[in-house]
Amino acid sequence: MNDTISFTASELVSIIIGVCASIITISGAIGVIARAISKAKAPEATQNARLDAIDRHLDNIDKIIEKYREFFANDDARFKAIEKSNKVTQSALLALLKHSLNGNDKDSLKDAEKALEEYLLDR
């Protein structure tokens, strides 16, 4: 049972060279496998990068659209105010026209004055 294991120098060198050769072979195989995996994943990574760029672009477009929606809402409010102003002004002009034609249509003139006054005070 007490057999001793002995190596000669050439056997030791052969074992060390064998171990080094197997390490190099395994690392080479791992490198080939890693390159194959990265090549297989390259289209997915490219597609993910493209999709991320498109998502950022769409976010910017959404911000721009929201800004223009605010502009449109402001313009709509201004148009409604202009329409109201035109209605009051046109009714006042109509009252003046009636008064100048009839000479006695003071009631519609007073009503138009009151409406114009209320509009200008509310504004």
Taking only the tens place, the pLDDT of each residue in 14-32 is 999 999 999 999 999 999 9
Structure tokens at 52: 């991320």
Calculate ∠ Cα 90-87-104, nearest 5°: 40
Alpha-carbon distance values, 79 to 18, 74, 86, 108 (Å): 89, 9, 10, 27
Structure tokens at 29: 């195989």
**pLDDT value of position 83:** 92
pLDDT tens-digit series, residues 39-92: 888 888 889 899 999 999 999 999 999 999 999 999 999 999 999 888 888 888
**pLDDT value of position 99:** 75
Calculate ∠ Cα 72-78-81, nearest 5°: 145
The answer, yes or no, to whether residue 109 has pLDDT greater than 60, is yes
The answer, yes or no, to whether residue 1 has pLDDT greater than 70, is no
Contacts 24+ apart (CB under 8 A), 23-31: none
Banded model confidence at residue 34, pLDDT cuts 50, 70, 90? very high
